[in-house]
Amino acid sequence: MATSSLSKLGKPPMDAELARLLSQVTFPQIEHVTPEVVKMMRLATATPSTYLDNLKTRGISHTEVKIYSGDGSNHEIVLSILQNETKDTKLRPCIYWMHGGGFHWGDRLHTTEYAVDLILECDAVAVSAEYRLAPEHSYSTSLEDCYAGLKWISEHAKEFGIDEKHLMIGGTSAGGALAASTASLCLERDGPRICAQMLVCPALDDCFETVSSHQFLEVSDFFPRAIMEEVCVATLKDRTQGSGAVSMLAGRLEDHSGLPMTYIDVGSAEVLRDDAIAYSSKLWASGVSAELHVWPGAFHGFDLFLPEAALSRTARRTKIDWAKRVFGADK
């Protein structure tokens, strides 16, 4: 993009209610992803013990399973399995969820609020893996952990009352990147059959050459370009090794044919907007069914951070309704 064009770029306005609510919340102003920032964010995003207690009061049980990564390291991966407490023996759909956190922070229960929506509304089983994080580990390592967890749950579906024909994957932000790459990896390796993928404000490309990647440059912008770029660079440090899904983000792959139906949403006021739009177009060009929502005036992760806002409620409801159609739970 020409420098003269960049100097003329404006910013789409933030939704008025979101802007008002955001001004009342204190978020750390991060300029660079330093080791100190990573440590701080890991502490801030660690799931409190009260989270599982809260789920229990809503009738949701939690089971932990330990498996091993398939990358030859014999690394132990913890899976969390969440589902409605019931004696009903019918098979249920499953959402295999990959948490957000800029590839550097968060744990397997971080950002699972989206998956909990599907437990409550679709009677789904939710599964999330404790994948290894950057900068200690590369993108391919995180991806192999996610793939190993998906493969294991698909092979043990009936043990947990899961209908393997209704196995969906999903994730938000960095987790959306891993979900999209996991879907591609399933095709490359003739792996688990997934019925759909749900990508929430996903990180899909690390080129940062789009209009939206040049619109949100200030520290005051919610997750500005510099932060997004730094976490991607640190995570994709081994991208020159190998090929296909293990070596790059899904938006940079050429062939997307054979991928399952896809839901993608993103805010109009965030860095990742145009990459989500471009990926949707690539899916359509490959003959894949994709539903894209660009929420006007929304910032990165808005419906997770400010779920009480009207636009957030609409976005969360839209994801639920789409999942119901996929699972056939709307009948």
In sequence order, the 6+-apart residues with CB closer than 8 A to the CB of 36 are none
The SS3 call for residue 27 is coil
198 phi and psi, to 5 degrees? -115, 115
Whole-angstrom Cα distance, residue 108 to residue 131? 7
d(CA 279, CA 265): 11
Please state the pTM of the whole predicted model: 0.94
Dihedral sign, Cα of residue 199, residue 201, residue 206, residue 209: positive
**CB-facing half-sphere around the CA of 41: CA atoms within 13 A:** 23
Domains of the chain: 11-327 (3.40.50.1820)
* End-to-end Cα separation, the chain, in angstroms: 48
State the pLDDT at residue 211. Answer: 96
Alpha-carbon span 176 to 101, nearest angstrom = 10
CA 267 to chain CA centroid, Å, is 14
What is the predicted pLDDT for the residue at 27? 80
Question: Which pLDDT value is given to residue 235?
Answer: 84
Give the residue from 321, 273, 322, 264 showing the smallest Cα distance to 297: 273
According to the model, what pLDDT value does residue 254 have?
86
Whole-angstrom distance, CA of residue 314 vs CA of residue 255: 32
CB 181 within 8 A of CB 188: no
> DSSP secondary structure string, 193-206?
--SEEEEES----S
Specify whether the CB–CB gap between 255 and 242 falls below 8 A: no
- Averages of pLDDT over runs of 10 residues in the chain (331 residues) are 66 96 88 93 94 96 95 93 90 98 97 98 98 94 96 97 98 98 96 98 94 91 90 75 67 93 98 97 98 98 98 99 90 53
The residues with which 60 forms a beta bridge, in sequence order, are 84
- Helices marked H in 62-138 — which ranges? 113-122
Name which of 108, 116, 128 is nearest 169 in CA terms. Answer: 128
Burial of 292 by CB count in 10 Å (0-12 exposed, 13-18 middle, 19+ buried)?
middle
- Residue 1's CB is within 10 A of a number of other CB atoms, namely 11
SS3 assignment, position 47:
coil
